[in-house]
C-alpha cells in the first residue's frame, strides 16, 4: 500500500473530476451556481493531473519537444475557457462574450504577476530575508516577455485586437520555442506524483503519462462550456457582476495548480525555480493565449475583415495589463525580484482590483472627480510611472537585459 502512496493525489484528483465529467456526458441539468462549482472543480482537479503528466513527460521527449508540449498543454485550462468565450463571440457578435474573453485573459495575466510573483518573493524573504534571483537561462523568457509587452501597447493605442496581432504574438512564441529548444538539456524538476511517474519503467511511464494527458484534457474540454455558462449565469442570478467573476474566479481555478507547485518550490528554498516557472507561464499566456483570441474569433466569425468587438472598457483592461507587465519586466531586467518590488506589485494589483468597487460605493460614485470606470486608466499610469522611475534610477537596467548570456548569478535557484 505504501508503494502506491505517491499516487494518492492522482486518485483524489480523478475522483474530483468524476462529477463534472459525468454531469457533462449525461447532460445533467443543475442550478447555475452548482454547475459552476461542479464544472470548475473538475477543471481544477484535471489541471493538477495535467501538471503531473507534463512533469513526467519530460523524461521521454527531447528538450525542444518538451518545451513545446509543456508550453501548449500548460495553458489548456485557461485556453479552454477563453477560447470558448471567443468562439461564442464570433457566433453571437451582439453578445457580451467578447468582453468575457478579454476579461478572462487580462485577469489571468494580471493574477500571475500581482499575486503569484509577489507571493513567491514574500515566501523567500520570510525564509532568507533576501531577494529571489532567477537563473541566467531565464533571461530569454524575460526578453521575449518584454518584446510581447511592448507590442501589446499597440492594441489599445490602435483600438483593436486583429488577426495580424495574433500572427505577431504567436510568432514571438514560436520564435522563443525555437531558440529555447537549443538550450542544453537539464534534468526535469518533477516533484510528487510527477516525479513518481517519471521513475516508472519506460512502458508503464509512457502509458500512465498518455492516459493522464488524455483524461485531463478530456475533462477540461468537457467542462469548459458548462463552467463558463454557469459562471455567467451565477453572476446574473446572484446579482454579482459577471464580468468580475469571469475575470477573477475563472483564472483562479485554472491557475491554482501552477501556483500551488510554485509555492511548494518556494517553501523548499527553490524560489528561483518557482518564480522562473511563473515567468514562463506569463510568457505563454501573453503570447500564445492572447494571440489565439483573434485567430479563433476569425474562424468562428468566418471573416478576417472584422476584429474582435471591444469597447473602451476592454481597451482599458488591456492597457492596464500591459502596464503591469512592463513594470514587471523592468523589475526582472536584473534577474532578481526584491521584497520591496514584490510588495509594490501586490499593492498595485489589489488596489486596482478594489478601487473601482470602492469608488462605485461612494456617495456620488466618484473620488477626486474620477468615476469607477476611470480607475483602471489611473492605475495604468501608476504602473507606467513606477516603471519609468525604476529605469531612471538604474538606466543600465534594460541594457543588461539584452546583453549576451553569460555566467549564472548567485542566489536562489
Helix (H, G, I), strand (E, B) or coil at 293: helix
> Would you tell me how many other CB atoms lie within 10 Å of the CB of residue 60?
14
Beta-carbon contacts of residue 266 (< 8 Å; ≥ 6 apart):
119, 120, 123, 124, 274, 275
Q: Closest by alpha carbon to 74, among 256, 238, 233?
A: 256
pTM: predicted TM-score of the whole model, two decimal places: 0.84
The dihedral built from the CA positions of residue 222, 228, 229 and 231, taken in this order, carries a sign that is positive
Distance CA 48, CA 13 (A): 7
What's the pLDDT at 53? 79
Ranges of residues in the chain whose predicted pLDDT is under 50: 1, 63-64, 404-413
Query: Tens of pLDDT along 2-21?
Result: 566 777 888 898 999 999 99
What's the pLDDT at 413? 42
126: its cell numbers: 520570510
307: its cell numbers: 476584429
What's the pLDDT at 292? 92
Q: Assess contact for 194 and 59: CB atoms under 8 A.
A: no
Q: How many Cα atoms are found within 13 Å in the side-chain-facing hemisphere of 85?
A: 30
- Please report the domains of the chain, with CATH numbers, ordered by start residue: 2-399 (1.20.1420.30)
Beta-carbon contacts of residue 121 (< 8 Å; ≥ 6 apart):
131, 132, 271, 275, 337, 338, 339, 341, 342
Query: Tens of pLDDT along 38-60?
Result: 998 998 888 888 878 777 776 66
Provide the β-strand partners of residue 367. 370
> In which residue are the cell numbers 519609468 written?
388
What's the pLDDT at 405? 41
Q: What's the Rg (C-alpha) of the chain?
A: 21
Amino acid at each position: 500500500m505504501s508503494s502506491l502512496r505517491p499516487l494518492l493525489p492522482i486518485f483524489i484528483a480523478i475522483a474530483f473530476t468524476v462529477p463534472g465529467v459525468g454531469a457533462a456526458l449525461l447532460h445533467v441539468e443543475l442550478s447555475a451556481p452548482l454547475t459552476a462549482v461542479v464544472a470548475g472543480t473538475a477543471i481544477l482537479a484535471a489541471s493538477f493531473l495535467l501538471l503531473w503528466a507534463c512533469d513526467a513527460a519530460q523524461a521521454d521527449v527531447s528538450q525542444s519537444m518538451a518545451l513545446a508540449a509543456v508550453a501548449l498543454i500548460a495553458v489548456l485550462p485557461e485556453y479552454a475557457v477563453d477560447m470558448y468565450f471567443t468562439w461564442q463571440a464570433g457566433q453571437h457578435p451582439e453578445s457580451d462574450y467578447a468582453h468575457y474573453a478579454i476579461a478572462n485573459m487580462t485577469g489571468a495575466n494580471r493574477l500571475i504577476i500581482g499575486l503569484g510573483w509577489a507571493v513567491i518573493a514574500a515566501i523567500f524573504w520570510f525564509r532568507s530575508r533576501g531577494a529571489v534571483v532567477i537563473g541566467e537561462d531565464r533571461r530569454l523568457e524575460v526578453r521575449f516577455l518584454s518584446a510581447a509587452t511592448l507590442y501589446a501597447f499597440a492594441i489599445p493605442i490602435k483600438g483593436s485586437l486583429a488577426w495580424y496581432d495574433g500572427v505577431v504574438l504567436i510568432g514571438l512564441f514560436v520564435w522563443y520555442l525555437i531558440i529555447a529548444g537549443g538550450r542544453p538539456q537539464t534534468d526535469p524538476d518533477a516533484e510528487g506524483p510527477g516525479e513518481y511517474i517519471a521513475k516508472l519503467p519506460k512502458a508503464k511511464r509512457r502509458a500512465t503519462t498518455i492516459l493522464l494527458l488524455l483524461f485531463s484534457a478530456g475533462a477540461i474540454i468537457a467542462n469548459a462550456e458548462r463552467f463558463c455558462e454557469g459562471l455567467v449565469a451565477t453572476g446574473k442570478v446572484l446579482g454579482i457582476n459577471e464580468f468580475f467573476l469571469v475575470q477573477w474566479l475563472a483564472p483562479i481555478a485554472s491557475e491554482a495548480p501552477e501556483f500551488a507547485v510554485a509555492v511548494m518550490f518556494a517553501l523548499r528554498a527553490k524560489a528561483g525555480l518557482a518564480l522562473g516557472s511563473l515567468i514562463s507561464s506569463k510568457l505563454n499566456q501573453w503570447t500564445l493565449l492572447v494571440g489565439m483570441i483573434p485567430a479563433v474569433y476569425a474562424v468562428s466569425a468566418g471573416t478576417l475583415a472584422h476584429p474582435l468587438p471591444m469597447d473602451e472598457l476592454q481597451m482599458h483592461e488591456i492597457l492596464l495589463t500591459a502596464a503591469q507587465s512592463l513594470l514587471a519586466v523592468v523589475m526582472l531586467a536584473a534577474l532578481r525580484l526584491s521584497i520591496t518590488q514584490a510588495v509594490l506589485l501586490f499593492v498595485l494589483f489589489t488596489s486596482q482590483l478594489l478601487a473601482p468597487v470602492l469608488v462605485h460605493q461612494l456617495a456620488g460614485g466618484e473620488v477626486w472627480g474620477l468615476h469607477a470606470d476611470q480607475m483602471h486608466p489611473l492605475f495604468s499610469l501608476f504602473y507606467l510611472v513606477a516603471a519609468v522611475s525604476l529605469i531612471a534610477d538604474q538606466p543600465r537596467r534594460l541594457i543588461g537585459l539584452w546583453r549576451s548570456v553569460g555566467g549564472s548569478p548567485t542566489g536562489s535557484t
